[in-house]
Every structure is written in structure tokens, then in C-alpha cells.
Amino acid sequence: MRVGSCEILHLLEICRSMRELKQIHGLMITASHIRDIIPLSRLVDFCANSDSGDPDYAALIFLHIGRPSVYIWNSLIRGRSNGNNPDEALSMYKKMQRRGYSPDHFTFPFVLKACALTNDQNYGMCVHDRIVKTGFESDLYASISLMHMYASCADMEATAQLFDKIPKRNVVAWTTLIAGYVNNNRAGEAVKVFKEMEVQGVQPNDITMVNVLVACAQARDLETGRLIHQRVCQSDSNVILSTAIVDMYAKCGSLKLARELFDKMPQRNIVAWNSMIGAYNQYDRSNEALSLFEDMQYAGFTPDETTLLSVLGACAHHGALSLGQGIHAYIEKTHIGTHVVIGTSLMNMYAKTGETQSALQIFNGLEKKDVTAWTSMIIGLAMHGRGGEALTLFKEMERDKNVIPDHITYIGVLCACSHAGLVNEGQEHFHSMRNLYGITATIPHYGCMVDLLSRAGRLTEAERLIESMPIEPNIAIWSALLNGCEVHNNVSLADRVGNQILQLKPQGGGVYVLLSNIYAKAGRWQAVKMARELMRLKRLQKTHGCSYIEAKSLTIPMTRGGSHTHGKFEIIGRVTYMDRGSKFVGDSCMCTTWGMQVRSTESRTLQVAAEALLRHFVFYCHRMRPQYHALPAIPISISPYCMLDSSAILRRQHFLIRSLVGYSNQTATKVMAGTHLEADAETILKTITPKLDPNLHKGQAGNIAIIGGCREYTGAPYFAAISALKIGADLSHVFCTKDAATVIKSYSPEIIVHPVLEESYNIREGEKRSISAKVLTEVSKWMERFDCLVVGPGLGRDPFLLECVSEILKHARQLKIPFVVDGDGLFLVTNNLDLVSGYHLAVLTPNVNEYKRLVQKVLNCEVSDEGPSEELLSLARRIGGPTILRKGKSDLISDGKTVNMVSTFGSPRRCGGQGDILSGSVAVFSSWACQQLPAAKESSSSTQNPMVLGCIGASALLRKAASVAFTTQKRATLTTDIIECLGKSLEDICPAS
């Protein structure tokens, strides 16, 4: 039966995939329709422009067409302009003309779109000439495409001229002009064009409204934005319009209204979440930004680059270092975002939270450094008093020919000179800014220079500089000079400067307080009284300083004279500043949850107050604590991350902490009390790690088996098995399903894989009993050879598979084989506690959610942050038998008798897969502990529990490996980085010699 052209065309109409299209292509060849121009054109069009198409296949077909039609040329040009490489569309357009084909009115919009995407205005102008010569200038869509091209190339004058020449302008032409102004940051003109459009009676569409709302947001034109909102409310709005309205109100500062509209949105996309988070961050409401980010995660949205940039900014402002580190790990794991942009934001976050070393590591790891990256690092060093390093970095930047410093860079450089007291260098940079780079000094540059000279006591020069300024000095500049007057006791100059400032009508009380202090030093009490009276008459109050204390991943603000409570975290501190001799009186300072990080956002008075608060804090730790036996005994550690506005204050606080509590940079001071004990992890590691005979290669370090791994989860059992091998186990076995076996084998030939487990989708109902018995038989053949099992990594939650594993656990108990339950194994155990209850050779290593389920099931309550040690102890006692390792910043381990803590080597910066490394490590160290303490393995009444020792050793090694990996890789740790460092870390702690 012969197939006609109509049938071919019908088949092409209903075609939905390249597989179907290739069959139709073959049919066209065999039916001799391959030269029929209409079916051939449709064939090429599907390949080039369909979502299911293949542009490369279209190009292959094109090569075999003798005389392609203009439609085919247009299809290929359109496909390339919509693809990832629009330059190919321009090349295709050139070929089309060289081969003698004349473009039509469909060709030009596709070519001009490619010019717009590549910002190639010269090529676009050539296309414009061609349009004029061929008479298509009067074509509406050709003219609109030209407008879009010029607007994309930032030539709005040419865009406006083309718009004026269009005789009958439709809504697309108006919208193109408005969008052009918006995209070129000319929001006022965009709003003006929209108002003119309304006068002309042209009805805007949704795209028009979105662009106008964006223009209102850029121009902070709240009045026009409200009118647009009212107009949109009269019609049906979609999620894009609703998001634009929320964004407009948020950027105009109406955050309350924006949040109300956001909460009422029936549907939200990632852009809506980003708009609200970004607005909170923009207006310094970092707490709300971070809270909304948490809500976004609960709602199931995955953060994109824009989200992370806003959240990192909020972390920097709020001092939320822990969250910032978590986001850093997420970025490393997902490779999300542009490297330089995200890297710069991470540097800024670390610098503002006091982690300048981490900021430097990220900076050094950037493959390409733009001016923003250099500037951020220079400012980060400068703000911490590391002026010399900042200036050295600036010299390196100048040697980089691809980067030119801008005006913000020089603000950082001048700040660095000011903090380091380098007056001559500061003056040289101030002049070279103009002479070398043509940068005109602005208010911030003059402010830095006045501050530099004032700090150095060169007040006359500073005053002369202010008088020579080509722009009117503001309050900040005069205040910098006034601050110098206070430091150097120049009362006469302070009088003149004070008069200048008062003429500018300051809105804050800081200037009056500063004047009052200067006059008080000079004994001019009448002037002091007058300054205070002026403050009272103008109803001005001194701005209270604000510090942040970070504990348990919570960042809690503290204001002078305030009392702050968060659950049982309570700090009550009121510090009175007595005189310049650093005499303080503190009413009270009580903390029941420790792990403290101080960040100051205000000036000297707060910093001194913070120092006093630390004095009382440390005094309470050492002198008062024993009197409060009812409070939970929790280890005290002072965080090294202490960022203040002044490097001198920073050094004083570090010295104060070291002096009073014996703090060193490597190890935090620890206090042991009650049932909560900081484990001596290194000693335990050295005790339980076997001394291997170099003449023997196998049979000394134990065999580990992993029970887990199904078709959906293959990474987890691999991580656990390979970690055991890297530490020193002789053999690692994995018992998994057949679907997972091939994949796990491909990861590493060192792992012995047994494909014996079965999932219910593979078997019939009547076969389940026999197959379950077969699985147990296969595993039992090997069971007595194993020193420890790891049950759960990658297990999944298939009911039949879990039933088989429960039988394996029962058999392991009968043979007194230790086992570690992790991952989905904890789901099984939580639902059937009899599997582990009363068995002292079991270890449970739950994550946050698994621990929450255990607490709910066993203790019948929610997890509490108050007294985590007591809660864990109660949980372990109630279950009775197994050791529980609760993972966190400090790992807590309990067998129901005591609670041990491991916090050595710092936080492991946990990321995906580290739980599997930990479970594999626990298995190895527990098996070694059982070898060292054979009596303890046989009896649960022994004073030493080998499973507890194994948990302590594994926890410490993971932390050590994470620390080594972070130092080596100069970035947040990945799972594979840590695995590679396990053996080296153990060798460092327990040398073979």
C-alpha cells in the first residue's frame, strides 16, 4: 500500500518524540516523499523547534537537501536562536544569503533575536539595513524585533526612534519599549511611557503590567504601584502578576503589606519566595529573612542562586555562622550558582561573622576573581584590623591586568590604612585613586581620610581637607573629626566642629553624647548639661548597641540594658559604664546554655559593655556554677569566632577570654560535671586501635558487613563499606538487592557484594516465605565470619525487605554479633524496639528526624533543646541495652549509664553521606573495642562498654578527617574528601610505629 503526502503530514502532526520522527523519516525515504518540500519542511521544523526535537538531527537532514526552501532556512535559524548558541543562527543567516536566498519577514525576527542574545549591535545594524533595503521596515513585527535588539544592546535612543516611526502601535510595541527602559535601569521613563500608553487607549496585557510593576519597584514609585495593583485586582491575576506586586511593595519598603499579599497567594513560585527573602535582607530584617527561608524549605522549594545570595547576606548581617556554613556545604554538594558570585557572597558572610581565614580560603580557591571578589576580601580584612594584609592584597590586585579597582575598592583600602594607622600610605592611595584610575573622590573616601588623619592626631590637616572638599561635607565627616577631638582632647576644635554639625540638624543622639563626653573630660559641666538638655528637648535618645550570641545554631540579639530569653537560654545583663578606667558594674549575668559567640554591631560603648559582660560570664562559669546544682551540667566553651568593630577590642576580648578561662586557639575550655562527660577521644582511639603485625596481611583488623542497598539507594552502603576499608578493616561485605549490586560493584572492586536481598515487587505473594528463608540462609553462611554488622544504609522501606532484615537482626543477636543500626534500619527498629531492646552490643546512630521519631515513640514527647544529655540518657534507659549516638555539633553518646560528648577537632561540617561514613566507622571501632575487651562483649554489666568506646572513636575520627579535608581542599567538605582522609587522620592520632 502506497503512503501519500497527506498521510505523512498527518503522522508529523501527531508525532511526539524523535523516535517516532525517525520512523516517519524512514517512511518518507522508502515511499519516495523525501523530496516533497512540504513534508520535508515539517520534518525539519519538528527537529529544530519542538521541545522533543534534536537540532543536530535537523542539521543532518538539511545537508542532504538540494534546494531548501526559505521556510526550512527560517526553521533552522529559529531553532538556533532559541538554543544555547545563538551565534549559530547568525552563521546560518550568512549562509542563507551567500547561497542566494532572500530572507522574508519571518526571517528577520529570528535573526534579530539572536543579535539581542549576543548583544551584537553591529550585526543587528547590518540586519536593519537589509530590512530597509528589502522594504520590510513597515512590517510591524520586524520593527518590534529591531526595537528589542537595540534595547538589549542598551541603545534606548534608537529604540525610541523606531517606536516613533511605527504608524499603528499595538500592545507588543508599547510593552517592548517599556521593558527596554526597565532592563536599562531607566524606570522613570518606563512609568512615563506606560501612562502615555493609557492616554492612547491601548489595553495593557499581563507582560506590560509585570514590567511596569518592576519599574515601580526600581523607582520606589509606591503611588503608581498601588494604582497598578488596584487595576490588577479588577481582573484575574496569575502567579507571575501576584509575584510582581509582592516584589513591588517589598522593594518600596511596604514589607508588612507585601507579606500579607504573599501569605494570601494561593500559589507561590520560587521568584515570590526570593522577592520576600531579598526584601527582608535589603531592609536589614535578617531574622525574618532566615525565618522565611526556613518556611520555604518546609514548603518543598529548592533554593536557587538568588535565594542563596539573599540568605548568605542575611547570615552575614545576623551573625548566623552555623547556617552560613550549612549553606556553604549545600553549595559545594550541588555546585549551584555562578562560582564568582556565590564565592564572593560566601567570603562576605565569613568575613562579617569573624571567619576571615575561611574567607581567605574561599578567595584563594576562586578560579577567576573579578573586582567585586577582590574588593570584598580587602574590606573583610580591613574591618578586622588586618590593614597590612589588606594592602598587600590590593597590591596583588593591581598586578592583575584583568581587574581595575573601582571606587568601592578604594573605600576598603582607605579603611585598611585607617585601622592600621598608616597615614602616609593612605594619602598616597587617596591621590593615586584619581591620578592612576581617574576615580573622583566621594563622601565615603573623604570620610575615610578624615578618620585616618583624626585617629593619628593630625587634626589640623583633617580640618584643612574638609575645607578643601569640592562637595559639601555631611554629618559623618564632621563626626569623624569630632571623634578625633575626643581622642586627642582638642576642645577648641570640638567647639567649631560641634557648631557645624548642629547646623546640619543631626537626627541621632550620638553627636550630642560625644560632645557631652568631650566637655566632661575638660570639666566644662555647664556645656555637658546643655548638650544633654538639647537631646532632651529634641527627644533624641542614644542608639543602644546590639550584640549577637550564637548558641545551638540560634543567633540571639542582645541590647544594652535588655533581658533576653529563648527557652532555657537566658542572658540577663545590664552593664553600667563608670569611667575610662574600665570600671564596670554588672547587675547580673546568668547563662544555662553555653557555646557563645559575640558579634558587635555598634561602637565603642557597646564593645566595652560586651567586654564587661564576658567578664561576668566567665566569673559565673568559674565561681558561681557550683552553687546551682539543679541546673543541667553542660560543657562551657567560648567560641573563637568573635567579631567586633575594632581590632583593638577584638584583641582585648581574646586576651580576656584566654586569661580568665585558659582558652587556647586549638581547644576550648571544657568543664566536666554530672553525667555529661567530654570523652578523652584521642586516648580511647589509641587504646582500641590494634597494633598490626606487618608480616600478616589479613585477619587482624576484622570483617565488616553492610546490610542495605536497593535499586533506589546505592551510595549509602558504598560509603559505609569503603569507610570501613579506609580505616583498616580487612574486608567489607555488602548484602544488597540484585538491582543495586551491579552499581555498588562499579563503585569499587575492593567491596565484596552479595546480591541476595529481594524486594516485594520482584516476587509473588506465595513465594515470600520461602524467599525470606533463603535470604536468611544465604546471610547466615557468612554471619559468624563478621565482627560487626551495619544495618540500614540504603535499605529503603519495602515491607518484605524490612521483614527479611528483622530476621537477620534476630539471628545476629543469637550469635552475639555487634551491629550498628543506621538510615532506614532505624525506621525498622523504631517500629519494633524488641529487635534491639536488652541487647548491649547494638548501636543506634539516628539523624535529626530519626531521633525525633525515637523520642516520640519511646518517651512520648517532643525533642527538647533543654537538657539534651538528660533526654538522651532517659531514652537509652527506656529502650534498655543499645548505645545511642546523637549526631550534632557535639556528638552525644549514651548507653543508659552515662552520657559522653565528643566535640574534639570542631564541627564535622556535616553533609550528605557523612552519616554512612560514621556508621561504617562505628562498626570498625566497636569490633576493635570488643577484641580489646572480650569480657565486656560477653556481659552487659561490665564497667566499660565497647560499643560506647567504638562510638567515641568513630566520632572523633570523622571530625578529624573532616577538619583535615577542609584544610586540604580549601573548601567545605564533601563526602569523598572525608573518606580519603580517614586513614591519614587515624595515622596522625595513632602512628603505626
Provide the annotated binding site for (6S)-NADPHX.
794, 847-853, 916
Classified as helix, coil or strand, 578 is strand
Distance CA 983, CA 987 (A): 6
Amino acid at 601: T
SS (H, E, C) 521-577: HHCCHHHHHHHHHHHHHCCCCCCCCEEEEEECCEEEEEECCCEEEECCEEEECCEEE
Residue list for the binding site = 794, 847-853, 887-891, 906-916
Q: What does the longest C-alpha to C-alpha distance in the chain come to?
A: 114
Question: Do residues 21 and 15 make contact, with C-beta atoms less than 8 angstroms apart?
Answer: yes
Report strand pairing: 569-572 vs 563-566: antiparallel
Find the radius of gyration of the CA atoms of the chain. Answer: 35
SS (H, E, C) 805-848: HHHHHHHHHHCCCCEEECCHHHHHHHHCHHHCCCCCCEEECCCH
Distance CA 359, CA 346 (A): 7
Residue list for the binding site for ATP = 887-891, 906-915
| CA angle, residues 248, 251, 257, in degrees to nearest 5 | 65
Distance CA 972, CA 975 (A): 10
Question: Do residues 908 and 958 make contact, with C-beta atoms less than 8 angstroms apart?
Answer: yes
Distance CA 582, CA 568 (A): 31
Distance CA 106, CA 96 (A): 14
- 396: which residues sit within 8 A by CB, 6+ positions away? none
Distance CA 229, CA 260 (A): 14
Residue with grid cell 563478621, as numbered in its chain: 786
| Cell numbers describing residue 607 | 564593645
Handedness of CA 768, 770, 771, 773 (dihedral sign): positive
DSSP H helix total and E strand total for the chain:
46, 17
Q: Which helix (H) or strand (E) holds 598?
A: strand 598-600
Question: Do residues 557 and 546 make contact, with C-beta atoms less than 8 angstroms apart?
Answer: yes
Classified as helix, coil or strand, 646 is coil
| Cell numbers describing residue 3 | 503512503
Residue of 543, 542, 546, 544 lying closest to 556 (CA atoms): 546
Task: Identify any residues that bridge with 754 across adjacent strands, giving them in sequence order.
Answer: 735
Residue 220 DSSP one-character state: T
Residue 623 DSSP one-character state: I
Phi and psi at 832, nearest 5°, equal: -150, 75
Distance CA 975, CA 981 (A): 10
Which runs of consecutive H residues, i.e. helices, occur in 184-254? 187-199, 206-219, 222-233, 239-251
Calculate the alpha carbon distances from 418 to 466, 758, 916 in Å.
Answer: 17, 70, 50
Question: Do residues 960 and 989 make contact, with C-beta atoms less than 8 angstroms apart?
Answer: yes
